[in-house]
Chain A
C-alpha cells in the first residue's frame, strides 16, 4: 500500500513564479490536474513542454533568451558561480529539487571546465511516496540490517523516492545510519531523522568518511556510478558496513555489464538487487539475489 504525496509548492518552488503560473495555466488548458505533472522542460531557443507521464504538452508561454537566462539565474538563487560544479555535472540543485541542465561545454585538457550558455532545463517534479520502501525495509530488517541492497531502474521510475521513504522508515525504527547526499536530494528527508548526513561530498569520499568516522549501521547513497564509487562501496562492505544504493539499469544483467561492477558481484557487496519497473498499473519491485 503506497500513498503519493504531491506538494506543488515544494515541487515547483524551484521555478520563478511567472513560469509556475504558466505551468498551471497550461495544465488547466489541457484539462490535467497539476498534481499529475511529472516533468517541466524549458528551452532557451526551442519549444518548452510539460509532461504528465507519457503525455507532453507545449508550454503556453513566450520564452525569450532573456527570460530563460532569468529563470536559470533564479534557479541558482541568484548565484550562478555557487552552482558551477553541479552544472558541470549536469544539474542544478534548487533547494533540494534537482533540475537537469545542458548547454555548451567549455573543455580544458579534455575535461569539462564549465558549462556556458545553458540552453535547456529539465525539472522532474518530485513526490514523496509513503510505503515505497516497504520491500527494501523488509529485506533489511529480516537480515538484521546487515545486508547490502542495490536498487536499480531506468531514470525517472522512483529510486530516489524509494530512498527518501527508506530514510523515514529507518529513522522510525531508530536505526543509526549515514546518508551520503552528494546532490542535496535526500537531505530534507533526513530532517529529524536518526541519520548522519554527509552533504555535498563526492560519493566515494562520503562513503569512506562515513565508514571511518561515523560507525553507521548502514550507509545510504544515491546513484553509484564509476569505479571510484564501486571501490568505495567495496571498502564499506569490507569494513562490515552494508550499503543501500541505487544505480541506473533496467536489469541485473545490465548491471553486470559494467566493468566496475565485477568486484561488487564477486565480493557480494550487495546481497539483494531490487529492480523498479513501471507499467500501466504503477511501479513493480522485483527482488533478485545474485
Chain B
C-alpha cells in the first residue's frame, strides 16, 4: 500500500468517525431531553394522582414515584432523600423543561388541594406540548443524523475511487 492511499484511508476514517460521532451525539441529546421531559410529565401525573386520591405529602409522592427510565432513578432517589427543588439540576432537562419543573417544585405543597391539582394540570399541559415539540425535533434530528451518515459513507467511497 503506497503512502497517499494510507493518508486517504486515514482521512476517510477520520471524516466518517467524526460524522458518526457528531450526528450520534446530536440525536442522542435530543432523545435524552425528550426522555427527561416524558419522565417529568409522568411524575407530574403521579403527583396529581397522589394529591387527588390520597392527599400524600410531597416526600411520599417523590419516594413512591418509580421512573420508567433507569438512567434517572439515581436522581429520583437523591430527590427522595433530600429535596425535590434541590435535585432538579441532577436531571438532564433542557432549558424549557427545567424552567417548568423548577416552577412546579417551587409551588408544590404550598396550597390546598384544588389549586395544587390546577398546578399539576397546568404543568402537565406545558410539559405535554413541550414533549410533542421535542418529539418532532427528535425525528428531524434523526433524519439529519441518518443523512450525515449516508454522506459520510459516500465520501468514504469517493475518497477511494
What residues make up the interface of A, taking CB atoms closer than 8 Å to B? 73, 76-82, 84, 114
Question: Cα distance A84–B115 when bound, in Å?
Answer: 12
What residues make up the interface of B, taking CB atoms closer than 8 Å to A? 51, 55-59, 108-113, 116
Measured between beta carbons, the chain A residues less than 8 angstroms from B57 are 77-79, 82
Closest Cβ of chain A to B25, distance in Å, is 38
Closest Cβ of chain B to A106, distance in Å, is 9
Q: Could you write out 7 A-B pairs with CB less than 8 Å apart?
A: A78-B57, A79-B57, A81-B111, A81-B112, A82-B56, A84-B112, A114-B112
Closest Cβ of chain A to B38, distance in Å, is 25
Inter-chain contact B112/A78, CB cutoff 8 Å: no
Interface centre among A77, A82, A114 (most CB of B within 10 A): A82
**Across the two chains, which residue of chain A brings its CB closest to B108?**
A78
Closest Cβ of chain B to A239, distance in Å, is 32
Inter-chain contact A79/B112, CB cutoff 8 Å: no
Once A81-B51, A82-B56 are accepted as A-B contacts, the answer to whether A76 and B109 lie under 8 Å apart by CB is yes
Question: Cα distance A81–B115 when bound, in Å?
Answer: 9
Measured between beta carbons, the chain A residues less than 8 angstroms from B112 are 80-81, 84, 114
Measured between beta carbons, the chain A residues less than 8 angstroms from B116 are 81
Closest Cβ of chain A to B131, distance in Å, is 26
Inter-chain contact A78/B58, CB cutoff 8 Å: yes
Measured between beta carbons, the chain A residues less than 8 angstroms from B113 are 81, 84
Closest Cβ of chain B to A82, distance in Å, is 5
Question: Cα distance A73–B58 when bound, in Å?
Answer: 11
Question: Cα distance A84–B108 when bound, in Å?
Answer: 14
Q: With contacts A77-B59, A81-B55, A84-B112 known, what are 10 further pairs, Cβ within 8 A?
A: A73-B109, A73-B110, A78-B58, A78-B108, A79-B56, A79-B57, A79-B109, A80-B109, A81-B116, A114-B112
